[in-house]
Amino acid sequence: MTIEYEDLLDDMKEAEKKQQEQRAVVRHLQEQYDRACNAWLAELCNQWDLDPRYGYWVADEVGGTWIYGDDMPLGMDEIIYIVRENVPEQEAREWLDYCLDAHEFNMTVPNIRAWHQGCPRTPKATFDRLRQMKQDLDRAVDEEKRRMAGGEQENPY
The proportion of the chain whose per-residue pLDDT surpasses 70, expressed as a percent, equals: 95
- Whether residue 155 is contained in a domain is answered as no
Question: Which residues form the domain of 24?
Answer: 1-86
Average pLDDT over residues 133-143: 95
**Angle, vertex CA 91, rays to CA 134 and CA 127, nearest 5:** 10
Q: Phi, psi at residue 38, to the nearest 5°?
A: -70, -30
pLDDT for position 3: 66
11 pLDDT above the threshold of 90: no
CB atoms closer than 10 angstroms to residue 51: 9
pLDDT for position 157: 62
- Whether residue 59 is contained in a domain is answered as yes
- Whether residue 117 is contained in a domain is answered as no
The mean of the pLDDT values for the chain is: 93
- Whether residue 20 is contained in a domain is answered as yes
- Whether residue 151 is contained in a domain is answered as no
Which residue intervals of the chain are DSSP H helices? 2-48, 76-85, 89-104, 112-116, 124-149
Separation of alpha carbons 13 and 54, rounded Å: 48
pLDDT for position 8: 82
Separation of alpha carbons 94 and 107, rounded Å: 16
Q: Is 49 helix (H, G, I), strand (E, B) or coil?
A: coil
pLDDT for position 68: 96
The model's pLDDT over 117-130, given as tens digits with 9 standing for 90+, comes to 999 999 999 999 99
- Whether residue 136 is contained in a domain is answered as no
The model's pLDDT over 38-88, given as tens digits with 9 standing for 90+, comes to 999 999 999 999 999 999 999 999 999 999 998 899 999 999 999 999 999
- Whether residue 52 is contained in a domain is answered as yes
Longest CA–CA span in the chain (Å) reads: 94
- Whether residue 42 is contained in a domain is answered as yes
User: Number of folded domains in the chain?
Assistant: 1
